[in-house]
Amino acid sequence: MSESSGSTLRVRLDLAYDGTAFSGWATQPGLRTVQGELSAALATVLRAPQPVQLTVAGRTDAGVHARGQVAHLDVDRAAWDALPGRSDREPGEALVSRLAGVLPSDVVVSRAEPAPDGFDARFSALERRYLYRIADPGAERDPLRRNDTVWWRKSLDVHAMDEASQALVGLRDFAAFCKQREGATTIRTLLDYSWRRLPDGVLVSTVRADAFCHSMVRSLVGAVVPVGEGRRRPEWPRDLQARAVRASEIHVMPAHGLSLEEVVYPAEADLADRALATRARREHS
Amino acid sequence: MSESSGSTLRVRLDLAYDGTAFSGWATQPGLRTVQGELSAALATVLRAPQPVQLTVAGRTDAGVHARGQVAHLDVDRAAWDALPGRSDREPGEALVSRLAGVLPSDVVVSRAEPAPDGFDARFSALERRYLYRIADPGAERDPLRRNDTVWWRKSLDVHAMDEASQALVGLRDFAAFCKQREGATTIRTLLDYSWRRLPDGVLVSTVRADAFCHSMVRSLVGAVVPVGEGRRRPEWPRDLQARAVRASEIHVMPAHGLSLEEVVYPAEADLADRALATRARREHS
């Protein structure tokens, strides 16, 4: 764990990406990933000898988007101070501007600034908010949104879906909705899970939790879509939740409807405590 | 001019497309166009021996999008009646469904139905509504919307732009904003031209007129952006409008910020009269 010290500075990055052409966040040999592109761009801009180490709040899967992703990196103080060159900009502003010139158009870093003491993009986070978009026959099918909206053939009852979703909210074991992982807890606090129709008819879900296990949002959506279709009762997802193992009846929904919208952090004074508490509770978020 | 007759039926199509990968609406040899793709798809579905003739409300340029485009075609009645096959669907529903199976994902036909008597997608139209999107530094730069939003480096004063835009509304000669065309009038009725910021900070313009000359919307936007930047006074676009020829100082804005959102037609009884009146007034819309 590297914290801010005399020679390095921890920097928080806020970023967004269109996940369509990425094999997810995490670097994988031979594949195009967000982390890979961003690390390489940072190395170029910071003149680092090798790809820059990044820690991210939400490790999104292949095809998943982000509008409110947060990451951190530790930067050599001299390199940080040198960023503005002869301009009178702040180093963070200069970094954003230079990254824009180097990054591909499907990744945008909107902000870069020194992180408060104790900040860890992953372990300090209090909650993550995701959004899922579905266009059923009652919605406009906008080809301009085909990359972040799932087109569904059957009509969906948004009220039934919303009712079924609300019943899942709370501090519970989400094993039924998680890909099992050795030694990792599946207990999470689901803070909000709701469905509504936008004016253009597109169904949008908001899903907030302290953290998510792997494929959890896409499983939560997959559990209520059959309710929206009328094939399952609104109580069905809640019944599944009572199980201690993954529910194989749940169809995990496509990645491209999903977007990480926001990561919430505590006030500055509570950052380090939060990170310690999170680490103690689970090794993987 | 082919109208509905005993053996053919005029069909209205409502459609949307992502213009990014198209060289505009109109068929051009060797280029990928919306008309080209749609004509070919219709020929396949209707089992027509050759590409189907289409008449469109707004002939969009390369890169311009549409969410509310309207076109018409004349279909052999026997082919129309055969569309449902053994299903109990309406022929229009069957056509929409079959086109969805044949068209590429960047074109969506949302509705197909028999047009009322006297309907002409181009000449019956009362008005067209366009939308233009710009993200300046005060807006979120959403990479998922990079194909229909222009990213602008300088901050824009939306109130100054709105004021300058409103001053252009009315029945006027728009020669300053038009690419000249021999023998074609540049007099149009601009019904609405306004600017506002969406909650995410993106600047959106609504532009409505009875019809538009070539590149008119992109020129209208180009005339007020310098006002938003503070480089020109809010009266500048209105002063340009007083000229009888194209204003070369206007920077025509990029195509990808523009989308045709809606085409408005008169009530059924007035359709044929409207088409006759439009034809009499101008040969090209």
Q: CA-to-CA distance for B226 and B18, rounded, in angstroms?
A: 28
Q: What dihedral do alpha carbons B101, B103, B107, B110 form, nearest 10°?
A: -40
Q: Is the pLDDT of residue A2 over 50?
A: no
Q: Looking at beta carbons, which residues of chain B come within 8 Å of A105?
A: 143, 146
Q: Looking at beta carbons, which residues of chain B come within 8 Å of A148?
A: 144
Tens digits of residue pLDDT in B95-125: 999 999 999 999 999 999 999 989 999 999 9
Report the DSSP pairing between strands B65-76 and B8-17. antiparallel
**φ/ψ of residue A172, rounded to 5:** -150, 170
Q: Which single residue is written with the structure tokens 């019944």? A: A239
Identify which of A110, A143, A148 has the shortest CB distance to residue B144: A148
Average pLDDT, chain B: 93
Q: CA-to-CA distance for A207 and A259, rounded, in angstroms?
A: 10
Q: Is the pLDDT of residue B270 over 90?
A: no
Q: Which amino acid is at A14?
A: D
Collect all residues with Cβ–Cβ distance below 8 Å to B185 and sequence separation of at least 6: B281, B282
Domains and CATH numbers, chain A: 8-124+266-281 (3.30.70.580), 127-262 (3.30.70.660)
Q: What per-residue confidence (pLDDT) applies to B3?
A: 46
Q: Is the pLDDT of residue A13 over 90?
A: yes
Report the candidate in B220, B214, B203, B204 with the shortest Cα–Cα distance to residue B165. B220
Q: What per-residue confidence (pLDDT) applies to A32?
A: 98
Query: What average pLDDT does the segment B139-158 reach?
Result: 96
Instruction: Find the closest chain A residue to B138 by CA distance.
Output: A110
CA A58 to chain centre: 4
pTM, two decimal places: 0.91
Tens digits of residue pLDDT in B156-211: 999 999 999 999 999 999 999 998 777 788 999 999 999 999 999 999 999 999 99
Q: Is the pLDDT of residue A3 over 50?
A: no
**φ/ψ of residue B122, rounded to 5:** -90, -50
Does the beta-carbon distance from B140 to A107 stay under 8 Å? Answer: no
Conformational region of residue B164, where left means phi above 0, alpha means psi within -120 to 50, and beta covers everything else: alpha
Q: Is the pLDDT of residue A35 over 60?
A: yes
Q: What per-residue confidence (pLDDT) applies to B282?
A: 59
Report the candidate in B206, B122, B149, B138 with the shortest Cα–Cα distance to residue B20. B149
Distance from A117 to chain B by nearest Cα, in Å? 27
Q: What per-residue confidence (pLDDT) applies to B185?
A: 87
Q: CA-to-CA distance for B261 and B60, rounded, in angstroms?
A: 12
Q: What per-residue confidence (pLDDT) applies to A282?
A: 59
Q: Is the pLDDT of residue A284 over 70?
A: no
Are A113 and A59 in contact, with CB atoms under 8 Å apart?
A: no
Q: What per-residue confidence (pLDDT) applies to B5?
A: 57
Q: Looking at beta carbons, which residues of chain A come within 8 Å of B202?
A: none
Does the beta-carbon distance from A106 to B142 stay under 8 Å? Answer: no
Q: pLDDT-based confidence at B243, cuts 50/70/90?
A: confident
Average pLDDT, chain A: 93
Tens digits of residue pLDDT in B229-239: 999 999 999 99
Q: Is the pLDDT of residue A261 over 70?
A: yes
Q: Say which range, A43-52, A149-158, A204-213, A254-263, has the weakest mean pLDDT.
A: A43-52
Q: What per-residue confidence (pLDDT) applies to A73?
A: 97
Q: What per-residue confidence (pLDDT) applies to A82?
A: 94
The verdict on B101 touching A (C-beta cutoff 8 Å) is: no
What percentage of chain B carries pLDDT values higher than 70? 96
Q: Which two tokens stand for residue A112?
A: 């870069």
Q: Is the pLDDT of residue B284 over 80?
A: no
Q: How many helices (H) and strands (E) does chain A have?
A: 7, 10
Q: Is the pLDDT of residue B285 over 50?
A: no
* CA dist A231 → A218, A221, A238, B131, B212 (Å): 18, 15, 15, 40, 49
* Between A30 and A50, residue with greater pLDDT: A30
Concatenated DSSP letters of B224-259: HHHHHHTSS-TTHHHHHHT-SS--TT--PPPGGGEE
Q: Which amino acid is at B208?
A: R
Are B91 and B84 in contact, with CB atoms under 8 Å apart?
A: yes
ipTM of predicted complex: 0.89
Does the beta-carbon distance from A107 to B148 stay under 8 Å? Answer: no
